[in-house]
Chains A and B, each alone.
Chain A
């Protein structure tokens, strides 16, 4: 619920000429998260420890993940501001249109028009 809407934030907020750089930071932080996730979890959790100690390690790693999430999400919410979608530009919700977006035919056009209003190429 948090991540898939956030995937659109670059398209929302970054002008065309900076989108590659913005996506580069996306890749960089994903990769750093992957690296630190393995390293930190590997350091904390040791499968060969006795059960009481191991239970503690599991509690620690889950709480650490929760702490990292809280801090990063709080920072994101404080630093990234969004303009609410103006009511007159809001899309009326119609289930048929909504569902049809998932069943487009990719063949006739490179990008389904509903997905690309930039019309840049």
Chain B
């Protein structure tokens, strides 16, 4: 595995690449357990929680269009932000590494969003619930 072509100083491999040690099965599992929490989060929200909240707290007659309105902005924002942040992580020289700092900060911010989301039906007046759900879903799409 030699690096043959290094155009314009772009070298995205970590310094340890050429000496990567084989990982144990547990090591491989540790790398990937995060995806359980990630998919748990998204599937619970997208398949069950958000559609039911939209139907229950907003006008039932418009529940389909309301659901689309809540979800589309987060999806669009994530479409822009995810590639940028993923790419930016190649550049950072933080002591925690290149990927872990983003996981730590993103998760902390996302926890705040989740708590606000949990109580949003009580905290926001009914007329503001549609924009509130939209903004909260966009924020969780950025953080998570």
Q: Which residues of A contact B (CB under 8 A)?
A: 1-18, 21-22, 25-26, 28-38, 40-42, 45, 47, 51, 54-55, 58-59, 61-63, 65-66, 68-73, 75-77, 79-87, 89-93, 97-98, 101-102, 113-115, 117-120
Contacts and interface: CB of A to CB of B under 8 A. Distances in A.
Q: Is chain A's interface secondary structure helix, strand, loop, or mixed overall?
A: helix
Instruction: Report which residue of B28, B85, B102 has the largest number of chain A beta carbons within 10 angstroms of its beta carbon.
Output: B28
Instruction: Report which residue of A41, A63, A86 has the largest number of chain B beta carbons within 10 angstroms of its beta carbon.
Output: A41
B10 A97 contact: yes
A119 B43 CA distance: 36
26 contacts: A1-B143, A4-B82, A6-B102, A9-B31, A21-B28, A22-B31, A29-B35, A34-B42, A37-B39, A41-B44, A45-B49, A47-B56, A58-B53, A61-B118, A63-B118, A72-B34, A79-B30, A80-B100, A83-B15, A84-B97, A86-B15, A91-B9, A117-B13, A119-B4, A119-B5, A120-B1
Interface string B103-144: 111110111001101110110000000000000000000111
